[in-house]
Structure 1
Amino acid sequence: MAGQILGDRYQVERQIGKQTGRWTLLARDLQTQELVVLKLLFIDEQLQWDDLKLFEREVEILKSLSHPSIPSYLGYFEHELPNAKALALIQTYVEGKSLEQCLQQGRLFTEVETKQIAKALLGILTYLHGRQPPIIHRDLKPSNVLLANRQLYLIDFGSVKRVSGNDTTAFTVVGTYGYMAPEQFSGRAVAASDLFSLGATLLALVTGTQPSSLPRVGTKIDYAKLPNVSPEFADWLGWLYEPNLDRRAKSTQEALHALDHGRQAETAPAKMIPARKPADTKITLTKEPTFLEITLPARMGQVQLQIDQQQISLTQKRLGIQTGRSQTSPRNDITKLECLQSADADGEATFIIWAGTQKYELKSTPAFTQPELDWLTYELSTWLKLPISR
């Protein structure tokens, strides 16, 4: 197709990629003389409905994105062919090498380089997952990450999915074996699914081997045998590349915090001893799978903490009426749970939930009793699925 003009404006220079019913072309915009990428989907008798749905979704979502590390949406047109019609998506062209090309050329990335790549990709994913509704890429892998002018770009949003409300299903199974989170095989996609793919990508970079081919102990990778990787970084990678969704990193913020500060040897929720609600407590706790509310007695009123799928909020109340503005943050920002106890004779304790740089402090007046501390520690840690540090 080299030399052919599409859409009365774009002269094809070469083919970048080809799949059944889909071509990716490098073309020159004859009006601006800039190079662009054209992604073509052929409308013929072989077209699958899911392919059309994914293509239209990619166009819709790219229109809404604006990030320096994501190629920009430039336009969309239809092109008549001799025996069919094609839909064409136009994007800015980024001249660089994919991480897959780097690996094929025999390049291995050091731990320091891999951590830098991890932070850059976590920054892009933070942007996507922070959209309302969140956007899940679903196909993060070395071939979909470009390295250009010392900057990383995330490309190919053909598998992208918006997750709204309680909708965590994708219906269409998409992704790449070895990089795709286990839950995606059943059509489910959540923010942590992209973190699994990120972990797989980073493993490939630091080992030069496809994750599915790395040495294993049982069903898990033998991280002790990874070359040139510190135990701390191997532990972090294993946390991302964890097949069990409940044991995997939950958010980009949580992953970034652990990458910078290490995964502390904290009390894991799964190992905690269940604690019952004390009979004489004035603290109320309501919990459901997607909602938690705690109300504590405080001076001249109450403090109420609420966490749902969208946000965390802390409100001061007096006689049941809100006093002042609520402190709120996105639910996905929650990364850490602490219980700090003073060294004074009264041993007053404070629970702190960290959401990004914001902290949500839970204190009771009178101070928590030990049974209340044990009960709330258990309930908060198991519900948030976060270890608790003291």
Structure 2
Amino acid sequence: MAEVIGGRYEVITELGRKPGKRTYRVKDLQTSDECILKRLSFGEDMAWEDVQLFERETQVLQALYHPAIPKYRDGFEISLSSGQGFALVQDYIPAPSLAQSLTAGRLWTESQLKTLAKQLLDILIYLHSHSPPVIHRDIKPSNILWDELRQQAYLVDFGAVQTVISGATRTVVGTYGYMPPEQFGGRSVPASDLYALGATLIHLASGQNPADIPQENQRLQFSNLVNLSPGFVHWLQQLLEPGLDKRLNSAQAALRKLNNSHDWARTQSQLSQPEHSKVLWLQKTDELEIIIPPARTQGGVGLGGLIFLGAFALAWNSFIFFWTGFSLLAPFPINLAFGLFSIPFWVAGIGMAGLVFFGLFGKVRLKITSETISQTFELFGFRKQVTPSSSRSSITQIEHQVRHYTKDSDGDRVTVQPDLIIWAGTRQYNLGGKGLLSDPEIEWLANALSQYLEIPLKVKAKSEGA
């Protein structure tokens, strides 16, 4: 004969068992509805924190009304052979958990993950909008149900829920692999749920438990384990930032970013690196290096311009050399005057020669870390930082100046060369000027940097009469 709990709930099957805790699927004998009943029994293996969490879960569920959260139905004390206990009854959702989906070997596609993520973010927006915010603290595949027929997600098991405003709690709850760093210290904020959501989505995409995925600087290195667009990977990385100051700080912000990630991905796929470009885009989780090789390896207009400039510099410096030599043969002080007169011409000639050497053998390196942006010019192993380093947070604008035409003071047509400028306060970091990059390369880098830094791209293009 089936066990009846509280004189009303007939046990159909046991769903889970932990020390002092049982979870059953039951039948309500008064309504014939199937429900979920969670039972907590007092005993030697029960900690006082378990009672507090159970009471908190009961109180919170009574105040929640969301179609994707199983509704609270009943709560009462019970007498057991081992002593007293508590029971909590909720609606039963006839759907498997995501953990069961993973056990079956299913890997979720990006489209499916986005559908799931949007629904879960909607739930989190509801929970976090309470005052104080309701923080689940244990989002993971086993606590999310998925109704395949209705394409609907449900968030269950609020046994770790937190509603206090204080910065830390004595009890550390959650599941390793899905918990953000701050939760290990007993601190939970709404963004803690976002980290757990990101870890859950990665588990579904890769089939690997986040606890088993390698980390670098506390960041999960998952991009090579999943088949996802760069835009969606970038969004997940924002959820999984170990530091709260860099993580997306609200479910609303995360949903907005997710809705815009398709633009990021579409632009990325439409504007790929030009076929013959030798520019290196070296991106890690928290660092980006762009290396522009010598113009001689690039070909095109840059190399042609260097050949012309090299020939002109050779002719210029040869003339100045002979002119200075003959000048020095003149009697003093005429030779001194001619020597001093030739200095600006030597400066110009050496400058042109330097440009040619840099174009043939030099490299430009732009480095953006989580803290700074810096740019160096490298030639024969020597490095020179033309513009001082700036903090990454000071980057305010990315400007793409496309090739266009204007008129000088005499009314003659003048070509304005394309350029790419990153503005960090009053400092500017130029890429692509002086013929180092082709127009398509500058356009590609401008869009890629705009997406990477999440700063709108300003396109500067103006054509005045030919």
- Normalising TM by the smaller chain, what interval? 0.5 to 0.7
One-letter amino acid of the counterpart of residue 159, structure 2:
G
Q: CA deviation at 1:222?
A: 2.8
- Taking the TM superposition and a 5 Å limit, the aligned residue runs for 1:188-203 are 188-203=187-202
Separation (CA, whole Å) in 2 of partners of 1:24 and 1:9: 16
1:234 paired with 2:236, answer no
**Paired-residue identity, %:** 44
SS of the residue corresponding to residue 158 of structure 1 reads coil
- Taking the TM superposition and a 5 Å limit, the aligned residue runs for 1:15-34 are 15-34=14-33
Could you say which residue in structure 2 is the equivalent of 1:370?
none
Summarize the Cα distance change of 1:389–1:271 in structure 2 as closer, same or farther, 3 Å threshold.
Answer: farther
Could you say which residue in structure 2 is the equivalent of 1:161?
162
Separation (CA, whole Å) in 1 of partners of 2:214 and 2:139: 22
Matched-pair contact (CA < 8 Å) for 1:16–1:24: yes
Could you say which residue in structure 1 is the equivalent of 2:153?
152
Separation (CA, whole Å) in 2 of partners of 1:199 and 1:76: 33
One-letter amino acid of the counterpart of residue 158, structure 2:
F
Separation (CA, whole Å) in 1 of partners of 2:246 and 2:178: 17
One-letter amino acid of the counterpart of residue 133, structure 2:
P
Summarize the Cα distance change of 1:218–1:245 in structure 2 as closer, same or farther, 3 Å threshold.
Answer: closer
Summarize deviations over 1:44-102 as a string: whole Å, max 9, x none.
Answer: 23321100000000000000000000000001111111231220001000011100000
One-letter amino acid of the counterpart of residue 46, structure 1:
D
Matched-pair contact (CA < 8 Å) for 1:136–1:191: yes
Could you say which residue in structure 1 is the equivalent of 2:248?
249
Separation (CA, whole Å) in 1 of partners of 2:182 and 2:71: 30
Could you say which residue in structure 2 is the equivalent of 1:130?
129
Summarize deviations over 1:4-28 as a string: whole Å, max 9, x none.
Answer: 1111111111101111100001110
SS of the residue corresponding to residue 123 of structure 1 reads helix
One-letter amino acid of the counterpart of residue 230, structure 1:
S
SS of the residue corresponding to residue 249 of structure 1 reads coil
Instruction: Name structure 2 gaps, 5 residues minimum.
Output: 269-367, 374-389, 398-423, 427-452, 458-466
One-letter amino acid of the counterpart of residue 74, structure 2:
G
SS of the residue corresponding to residue 246 of structure 1 reads coil
Could you say which residue in structure 1 is the equivalent of 2:120?
121
CA RMSD of aligned residues (A): 2.9
- Taking the TM superposition and a 5 Å limit, the aligned residue runs for 1:86-105 are 86-105=85-104
Number of aligned positions between the proteins: 284
Separation (CA, whole Å) in 1 of partners of 2:179 and 2:226: 23
Matched-pair contact (CA < 8 Å) for 1:15–1:23: yes
Q: CA deviation at 1:236?
A: 1.1
One-letter amino acid of the counterpart of residue 12, structure 1:
V
Separation (CA, whole Å) in 2 of partners of 1:161 and 1:136: 5
Separation (CA, whole Å) in 2 of partners of 1:190 and 1:268: 26
SS of the residue corresponding to residue 203 of structure 2 reads helix
One-letter amino acid of the counterpart of residue 103, structure 1:
L
Separation (CA, whole Å) in 1 of partners of 2:33 and 2:215: 48
Q: CA deviation at 1:271?
A: 4.4
SS of the residue corresponding to residue 254 of structure 2 reads helix
Matched-pair contact (CA < 8 Å) for 1:268–1:387: no
Separation (CA, whole Å) in 1 of partners of 2:218 and 2:86: 43
Could you say which residue in structure 2 is the equivalent of 1:140?
139
Matched-pair contact (CA < 8 Å) for 2:41–2:80: no
Summarize the Cα distance change of 1:271–1:228 in structure 2 as closer, same or farther, 3 Å threshold.
Answer: same
Summarize the Cα distance change of 1:49–1:215 in structure 2 as closer, same or farther, 3 Å threshold.
Answer: closer
Summarize the Cα distance change of 1:176–1:224 in structure 2 as closer, same or farther, 3 Å threshold.
Answer: closer
SS of the residue corresponding to residue 147 of structure 1 reads strand
Instruction: Name structure 1 gaps, 5 residues minimum.
Output: 275-337, 340-372, 376-385
Q: CA deviation at 1:192?
A: 0.7
Q: CA deviation at 1:260?
A: 1.3
Could you say which residue in structure 2 is the equivalent of 1:185?
184
Separation (CA, whole Å) in 1 of partners of 2:74 and 2:253: 36
Separation (CA, whole Å) in 2 of partners of 1:249 and 1:128: 16
Summarize deviations over 1:244-270 as a string: whole Å, max 9, x none.
Answer: 2221111111111111113979x9995
Separation (CA, whole Å) in 1 of partners of 2:253 and 2:369: 15
Separation (CA, whole Å) in 2 of partners of 1:182 and 1:217: 14
Q: CA deviation at 1:187?
A: 0.4
SS of the residue corresponding to residue 176 of structure 1 reads coil
Separation (CA, whole Å) in 2 of partners of 1:144 and 1:83: 29
- Taking the TM superposition and a 5 Å limit, the aligned residue runs for 1:1-390 are 3-148=2-147, 149-164=150-165, 167-217=166-216, 219-262=218-261, 270-271=371-372, 389=456
Summarize the Cα distance change of 1:53–1:216 in structure 2 as closer, same or farther, 3 Å threshold.
Answer: closer
Structure with bigger helix share is 2
Separation (CA, whole Å) in 2 of partners of 1:219 and 1:169: 21
Separation (CA, whole Å) in 2 of partners of 1:60 and 1:252: 23
One-letter amino acid of the counterpart of residue 155, structure 1:
V
SS of the residue corresponding to residue 97 of structure 1 reads coil
Summarize the Cα distance change of 1:236–1:125 in structure 2 as closer, same or farther, 3 Å threshold.
Answer: same
Separation (CA, whole Å) in 2 of partners of 1:31 and 1:192: 41
Matched-pair contact (CA < 8 Å) for 2:219–2:240: no
Q: CA deviation at 1:194?
A: 0.4
Q: CA deviation at 1:229?
A: 1.1
SS of the residue corresponding to residue 243 of structure 1 reads coil
Matched-pair contact (CA < 8 Å) for 1:178–1:212: yes
Separation (CA, whole Å) in 2 of partners of 1:388 and 1:259: 16
Separation (CA, whole Å) in 1 of partners of 2:107 and 2:32: 36
